[in-house]
Structure 1
Amino acid sequence: MIGLWDTTGNEVVKALAAERRSAGGVASGLALTLVAVVEEKKVREAEAAATIAAAAHPCRLLIVVRSDLEGRSRLDAEIVVGGRLGPAEAVVMRMYGRLALHAESVVMPLLAPDVPVVTWWHQDPPDTIANDFLGVVADRRITDCAQASDPVAALRQRAIDYAPGDTDLTWTRITLWRTLVAGAFDTTEARVVGATITAPESDPTAALMRGWLQSRLGIHPALQHTDRSPRMHSVSLQCENGDTVTVTREENTALFSRTGQEDRYMPLPKRPVGDELAEELRRLDADQIYADALGAMAGVTGLDHKPPMRVHVWKDPALAAKAESEAGAMAGPGGSAA
């Protein structure tokens, strides 16, 4: 590992090249560049997840930590090739002051040549991805609405702000659920006429599962709230011929029940974030099924017709806070302008 404190982007580029040469790294063997935008307290989580993902998808990992926007501009960097982060070429960059608002000035020269760029936010996702240049330059963008204070509202915002190439780890977390539900109809042609999802009110996976069933089957699933489980508890489908198919979570297994058949247990483990991230890195094109499910969940149509490219919209948090402060000072006692 090489540590560079109070350094420059040019020095980071040189140090990475030197470390790669000493470790025998070959840039042409990289499948992609993964840019992770992370809060300081979640850096170790992001590194652990990226290590798992890099084992399946050799990548250059660039971890961007924005801190203390009000202080002096400074860049601290750690460069790791192999070692504790597995096969990844990794640069952990902590940016302070105004530099944190221009992270792309450091990140862009570090992108691996001729490979796709994926940006992953391991924190509360941005309301508008176009405000973050690291999202605009990416071919694929991965958010995680479960990290938001209101996950379901954040998922709706992802639909409003959607562009082809976007995805969310909420979608990845229902892959096994979707597999079990879809597999129930390999041996029957019975039409589904209704569905009920039992889950906590704030569970985004249940909201997206509801959107998926609506977009695929043309039904409007009912959502039954429960406090018995912190995650989606069950999915029940009612068929036209009177049969009922139910998948119920029990710890790390799923109880599969169907009218006229014996109950069966299927694996339904809670996967680490690294496995979820690795799954999303398997595809670098737009996920049409996700777009349909997200649009149905949020009541937003035409997501697949949105332009895939975003135009960067500059937003300075300091200026926004100043404007809000000035507007508050101009307001009278009643809350309106004096």
Structure 2
Amino acid sequence: MEASMIGLWDTTGNEVVKALAAERRSAGGVASGLALTLISVVEEKKVREAEAAATIAAAAHPCRLLIVVRSDLEGRSRLDAEIVVGGRLGPAEAVVMRMYGRLALHAESVVMPLLAPDVPVVSWWHEEPPNMIANDFLGVVADRRITDSAQAPDPVAALRQRAIDYAPGDTDLTWTRITLWRTLVAGAFDTAEARVTGARIVAPQHDPTAWLMLGWLKSRLGIEPVLEHTDRAPRMHSVELQCANGDFVRVTREEGTALFSRTGQEDRYMPLPKRPVGDELAEELRRLDADQIYADALGAMAGVPDLDKRNPMRVHVWKDPALAARAASAAA
């Protein structure tokens, strides 16, 4: 089916709601049976990238995609919108909203009427994650919140901030990126008998996946893994477990595959591909409850205990970045 698309420039929220309803009627069954509403907060240069990722995720989870792009907080308030139903998005429908001026600080006034009825809401930041999710109403309204610490200037510091700011229902794509690693390491215990006494992770210093792997091993095994930094690999290179009887288990990344080594056994190669963001997003959309194992790993990594015992209900804390910037400028 060809895509049904319409553009609205310098429009209003009511006009966007009416146009979306009209496009859905035109698309017919393609836009029926939505499983969730996915709100994506994106910077301008990543809009098409977010659409592509959502298209992959929508193959498993048909959704209404609401992309929010905030720009020029000091300018005149204006809303531009692009509506796409079906076509290149597959079983999904999207509204790309570019908000300017003070309207960008109140994105929820436009987004709330566009939420699909009677389905869960997921917020996904495809940009540098917010310092405090409660400052963004688009995070407060969501049942599940997905960030990506790898997009921050200091990914490890951003991951630690996710622990400070954590509420049940939060997750980070850094965690999703070690799913295959965790599967390979956990599989080694199917026939293991000796207790694990130590672990060594080799990775670049600022690789957040290595730090989450460290937290996962620490929380699951009660050990203190050693993180060995290297500049010879762009991502986490290897994970090695040492057992009480002197045996070891090692998983080493080698160009899309993993070399699995174990004492007394022949080396084996297993798939370890770098997955597209859409696959990672689809994995996180499979569950809408709190991920306790992620909370344990994040807390162990950051030294913040009992994350899973926090209140899952977030309360919006209003913050005006424009006023904060003016105050800082005046103080300077």
Q: How does the TM-score come out when normalised to structure 1?
A: 0.96
**321, 326, 330: which one pairs with 1:326?**
330
SS in 2 for 1:185: helix
Task: Give the 4+ runs in structure 1 shifted more than 2 A.
Answer: 25-28
Aligned residue number for residue 21 of structure 2? 17
Aligned residue number for residue 179 of structure 2? 175
CA distance in 1, matches of 2:116, 2:89: 17
Task: Give yes or no for the alignment of 1:46 onto 2:50.
Answer: yes
**94, 103, 109: which one pairs with 1:105?**
109
Q: Deviation string for 1:157-209 (max 9, x for gaps)?
A: 00000000000000000000000000011012221000000000000000000
Aligned residue number for residue 227 of structure 1? 231
Q: Deviation string for 1:227-271 (max 9, x for gaps)?
A: 111100000000011101000000100000001100000000000
> Contact 1:27 / 1:112 at 8 angstroms: preserved in 2?
no
Task: Give yes or no for the alignment of 1:135 onto 2:135.
Answer: no
Aligned residue number for residue 3 of structure 1? 7
> Contact 2:31 / 2:91 at 8 angstroms: preserved in 1?
no
State the Cα distance separating 1:27 from its structure 2 match. 6.5
> Contact 2:214 / 2:301 at 8 angstroms: preserved in 1?
yes
CA distance in 2, matches of 1:6, 1:15: 14
**Structure-2 change in CA distance of 1:85 and 1:28 (3 Å):** closer
RMSD: 0.8
Q: Deviation string for 1:85-136 (max 9, x for gaps)?
A: 2211110100011000000000000000000000000000000000000000
> Contact 1:120 / 1:142 at 8 angstroms: preserved in 2?
yes
Structure 1: runs of 5 or more not aligned: 329-338
Q: Percent identity?
A: 89
Q: Deviation string for 1:273-309 (max 9, x for gaps)?
A: 0000000000000000000000000000110110001
> Contact 1:144 / 1:168 at 8 angstroms: preserved in 2?
yes
Q: How does the TM-score come out when normalised to structure 2?
A: 0.98
Task: Give yes or no for the alignment of 1:95 onto 2:103.
Answer: no
CA distance in 2, matches of 1:61, 1:273: 15
- Count of residue pairs brought into register by the alignment: 328
Task: Give yes or no for the alignment of 1:60 onto 2:64.
Answer: yes
Task: Give yes or no for the alignment of 1:35 onto 2:63.
Answer: no
Structure 2: runs of 5 or more not aligned: none
State the Cα distance separating 1:326 from its structure 2 match. 1.8
> Contact 2:167 / 2:307 at 8 angstroms: preserved in 1?
yes
Aligned residue number for residue 210 of structure 1? 214
